[in-house]
Structure 1
Amino acid sequence: MPTTDSSFSETQTAFVTGGASGIGLATVEILARSGFHVIAIDRNAESVRQMVEHFTAERLSVEGAVADVCDRPAINRIVATQRRVDVMICAAGIYAPRYFDEITDEDFRRTLEVNLLGVFVAAQEASRRMSAGGRIVTVSSRGALGGKGFADYVASKAGVIGLTRAMAMELRPRQIVVNSIAPGFTDTPMTRTMPADQYAAAVALEPGGAPASPYDIAHVIAFFASPTSRFITGQTLFVDGGKSLGGLGI
């Protein structure tokens, strides 16, 4: 992990959007325990306060910052507070199940803003301050492959995968790597907003009969955040227990 890599003698700094809950929160913890100084960005001020209080009590190097990922001036100010920017994890996202005929323009626009524009803003602000060896990790979704009942979410996450590849190509000459993690169905506060019957049906389709935990996903994100992943870029890794292989239903 980062603290044992002899090519990095200083503590590295990682930013995590959506860092106060779900996959983002698990990622903050794993990175901090691995020796990173972590700045968790989230729009929920109370969740940020509780998170910082908890990790401070455990003597982990974690700061909190309250901002909407679509607010470029706010993200700019947060990133500028740190002397170095080594890693940006773009984990913030929203999801509201609704069928195609029920999605409004405003629904679609807001999902794209948070899930795609928010990734672009955070990644761009970080990349402008990164030196060679910087890492950007986006969080897409297995849903990018398609599905029923969340077309706006599917579109946004497919966009994240395309954006990841484009960023990787452009940042490659600066030796900044960009990769994406595409989680399968994961037990998070966001997925728990689904009606109970829909949640149970989604779980039943999982190869292991259970959803991933946020830590299952966060450990893989931490690999891409580590200097040891420096020779991988432009890739999307599906972390879904094999469901994307097919043969298990929709």
Structure 2
Amino acid sequence: MDSETPLDGRVAVVTGAGRGIGAGIASVLAGAGAHVVVNDLDADAAAEQTSTILASGGSAEAWVGDVSDPHVSEQLAHRRVDILVNNAGIGHDPTPVTELRPADVELRWRVNLRAPLWCSRAVVRQMTERRWGRIVMIGSRSWLGASGQADYAALKAGVVGLTRSLALELAPTGVTVNAVVPGSIVTPALEALPASTRAALLARHPAQRFGTAADIGRAVLAFAAPGGRGMTGQVLHVCGGRSLYGGPVEALRSDP
């Protein structure tokens, strides 16, 4: 292991890593020397991202499965996992609370909160036995509250609670648990927004730039690397100052 490849010999599982932020995280961890397990529901996306990592000289394999299903997440207990990144998530357009549909809320609960809970549960035993492990949750600034996002915000607040509770429980064992909260990130979904909407979003970022998936990957790497052993229970906003925005609550309606 050297400063360029601090994760040599480590196995990292990144859920929802076929595209977007998850793919960026997977690439950064692979570049740091980890063998990356690229999880996604979409077999083609998982295979494509795995091929991208391999083509760049990294080590990776695809794992196709729905981690919101406890029977799937439990598979993690039967393979080596040094680093778990709970990235898989599903959002929705702003919706008044009176118009929320039970089936939609149930799906978001399974993906956004149950999945990181059960994936984390599946790897804790082996991590504590080795007295080394890193669990990183990918959150959303909606946990601070956002109009039209009642259930999503509640679930993402739950991710913060899960992070801090697991961090307390596992602190004596050598396992750290932290969360990274992205701001607006350059993804196909962001680029598909009207120019006026993108401009309004950018105006709320004091740094006057959108983040990239690699920015989030580097934040995850900071927690995952050996130098991150002293950080646990932390919630790191990687948002170009977006979390400092003091504009009216109404302005939060369209924020991802």
* TM-score, length basis structure 2: 0.87
Secondary structure of 1:177's match? Answer: strand
Tell me the percent identity. 36
Contact 1:94 1:190 in 2 (8 A): no
- Report the Cα offset of residue 61 of structure 1: 0.3
1:76 equivalent to 2:74? Answer: yes
Q: Greater shift after overlay, 97-106 or 233-242?
A: 97-106
Contact 1:19 1:25 in 2 (8 A): yes
Distance 2:214 2:171 in 1: 29
| Change over 3 Å in CA distance of 1:229–1:137 after alignment to 2 | same
Secondary structure of 2:22's match? Answer: helix
Aligned to 1:92: 88
- Report the Cα offset of residue 31 of structure 1: 0.6
Aligned residues: 244
Match of residue 44, structure 1, among 15, 20, 42? 42
* TM-score, length basis structure 1: 0.89
Distance 1:148 1:236 in 2: 22
Contact 2:83 2:133 in 1 (8 A): yes
Match of residue 119, structure 2, among 119, 122, 126? 122
- RMSD over aligned CA atoms reads 2.1
Contact 1:89 1:137 in 2 (8 A): yes
Q: Greater shift after overlay, 60-69 or 121-130?
A: 121-130
Secondary structure of 1:129's match? Answer: helix
Aligned to 1:158: 157
Q: Greater shift after overlay, 126-135 or 72-81?
A: 72-81
| Change over 3 Å in CA distance of 1:201–1:150 after alignment to 2 | farther
Aligned to 1:238: 237
1:134 equivalent to 2:130? Answer: no
**Structure 2: which amino acid aligns with 1:160?**
V
Aligned to 1:177: 176
What stretches of structure 1 of length at least 5 have no aligned partner? none
